Structure 1
Amino acid sequence: MKNDENKIREKRKDEHVRLALIEGPNLHSHFDDLTFVHQSLPNIGWKDVNLQVIMPNLVLKSPLYINAMTGGSERTGKINGNLAKIAKATGMAMAVGSQHSGLRNQSLADTYRIVRRNNPDGIIFANVGADIPLDLALRAIDMLEANALQIHLNAPQELIMPEGERDFTDWLPQLEKIIKKVNIPVIVKEVGFGMSRTTLRMLKEIGVQYVDVSGRGGTNFIGIENRRREKQEYDYLSGWGQTTPISLLEAQTYINNMEIFASGGIRNPLDAVKCLSLGAKAIGLASPILRVLEREGLEEAIEELNHWHDQLKTIFTMLGARNIEDLCTCPLIITGEVREWCEVRGIDVAAIGRRGEW
């Protein structure tokens, strides 16, 4: 019975990768409702831009990091190995996918450990679900000698997943136990459905300091799990959740007292800069990296991410921003559906549009 469960889990990991690659990037995005005010006199040079991110107990060379994708099967172990090589070559942090497979089946643990072997000095995030017992969370950290622990929140995915969980009553108290016992940063992460002020308040109240709001717009796990269902009857839920721009605007109350990360639907370096301007400290990329890696190869993926870093510095320079802190003073105009959401929710978009001008 246990072997059958392991085989099902490995098969699911491979299916997730296959289905994620089928999905193309969204052509229309809420990021298009955000527009920077151009600065004709930026008063800095390209060489003046510093992309380093300094947070309590965590320093990143780059604001871009490789977000949680995979692990738990032979194929996905090879992908993790290559992602680790990309992270090493580009100076990016990297999160592995959910380690539950490796924790339950020691023969699969190496599909995660390969990340540390291939990037021995890099910043690596372990990854577990919110239902994980404390002892297994600690084992996940040890498996990778991890610098931080991601705990993912994926209730919609579990509910649509044919073999998924149906009870989430223990998630919040379990998170609190882990936060109190783990001595490295714990990043509570959505998986593509975004976060609201209410969620952030609840997390803050139990001591969470690091959050990845991970909004709708990238890999759609309702869509992926629905394709695994015989009748595929949940198509109508494909638009569930808040987008990344809206999630960051919902998070404005907490920008100064929590470390906010952003991921989900980042199409290009300009989208990433918009997230940083709204207070995100780091930007997670997943499917854009996976697509290049799988279709063009390792060296091309490294080259693509080096281009992203160069383009970040270009956009910073156009805005006159030497660092991420400066970006948060750049006026950003919010229009369209995102503005409508903010008006209903009482979020002051006019103040964001006037930043740095008085």
Structure 2
Amino acid sequence: MYGTAVYSGKRETMMPPRAGTARALPPWAPALQQAMAGHPGEAIVWHGSLAGYTTFKVGGRAEAIVFPRGRDELSGLVRRLHELAVPWVILGRGSNVVIADEGLRGVVIVLGREFAAIELLEDAGDSVLVRVEAGCSLVKLVNWAVERGYAGLEFAAGIPGSVGGAIVMNAGAWQREMKDVLERVGIMDSRGVIAASDIDAMRFAYRTWGAEQGSIALEGFVRLTKDTPARLREICSDYRQRRRQRQPQNMASGGSFFKNPPGGRTAGQLIDQAGLKGRTVGGAMVSPVHANFIVNTGNATAGDIIELMGIVQQAVQERYGIILEPEVKILGRP
């Protein structure tokens, strides 16, 4: 998974850098420090814990956590890491991610508020074109659009995470997906080169954007139609209420854990019918509310979550002959 963009999460404000521990720095540390030398304040956290940067609240330490200030700095950082052959991964808001207890080698790049702009580019009368940066939360984008009477993103009401994560995962609900509103995507490749790609030239599919390994979604350009704010608020309120009724609340999780397999029955239905609701491993539990959610009851480790994932996969495969594919990304798995 290294050299891959991973976004998302439920925080509206990115957590400040956490202090690391007094361990020996990796051999590439001076080169990384030089690459970030122009950054004011604390740009690098050495051997910092990653648990606070994910919605599961689990995970070990990274050799380095870096907080770039903008796309130029990000481009230079990615280019330098490529030259040094240092593995890296990007986190936006940390949902749909389980980071192994053993932590991650290399660099974790966190996209914060410097990557969260929303800009109206074009008003075509009956529609608008909006540019939104990858670090912006999906919640913020939906609210921004609704208050201006821009329709098309209502399906995303209540979906946690960042816009970048929503693009990379082709997030969706209620028979709609991100690809349905995107016109093009700004992409940075694994060497730090930035380009834009029209949606028709990309390989979007169920829960994937189909980009090359190591690509980073920098921004999305979404085409929205016009409606009344009052009507859009009503639709979004209904979707959020349905989510609250059907999904676990106030427990750490990564959202839907498995992709829905082909064939009609959802992953949640298969897990439920296999009798796995409430099944636990350590502090990890298959939610009694929705079987396609694994939750942290308070003291789970990444190992607990990964072990429970395997139990669920084995039970469903033995009963139905179906292999459930995780929607959640496992990073640093041994």
Fold similarity call, TM over 0.5:
no
More helix by share: 1
More strand by share: 2
State the TM-score, normalized to the length of structure 1.
Answer: 0.29
State the TM-score, normalized to the length of structure 2.
Answer: 0.30
